[in-house]
Structure 1
């Protein structure tokens, strides 16, 4: 985040978006936002979708489009990494 004020505003945006994801996206299996205790301006998202179609559906939602557009004003950087689950406990799909 750019600064503490931006982090607070970003967290509010996340809080507004989360319930819409939960209510409207049954195939979004996990949408979890983490803070980093030693880096208070960092947020880490973990998102898990039933399949690629669920991710595409998520990206087309009005609440997601709003989130993606509004978040830019708060960020100082962004990194996105797509993961492929290979093993472990949880809803794994290959």
Structure 2
């Protein structure tokens, strides 16, 4: 997100409660976009890893592979997200 947008004249005319509401909406939209990206990447990666011959249904080994792949992907995503947010918090308190 371009932070210059937050310093635009239109934004500066908002009172603090309006700015807070705007930021809340932006955070919600970013969370939705992040979730959509996560699901898309996870689906693409796990499908290519686990499905050798696409058909009308998944066999038990494909189901197990997909479940394990999704679990590992989510674990990795959570670790990276926590590290990223910890770094952002640390940097915001230092600067």
TM-score band by shorter chain is: 0.3 to 0.5
Query: TM-score if structure 1 supplies the norm length?
Result: 0.37
By percentage of residues, which structure has more helix?
2
Query: TM-score if structure 2 supplies the norm length?
Result: 0.37
| Bigger RCO of structures 1 and 2 (CA < 8 A, at least 6 apart) | 1
Asked which structure has the greater CA Rg, the reply is 2
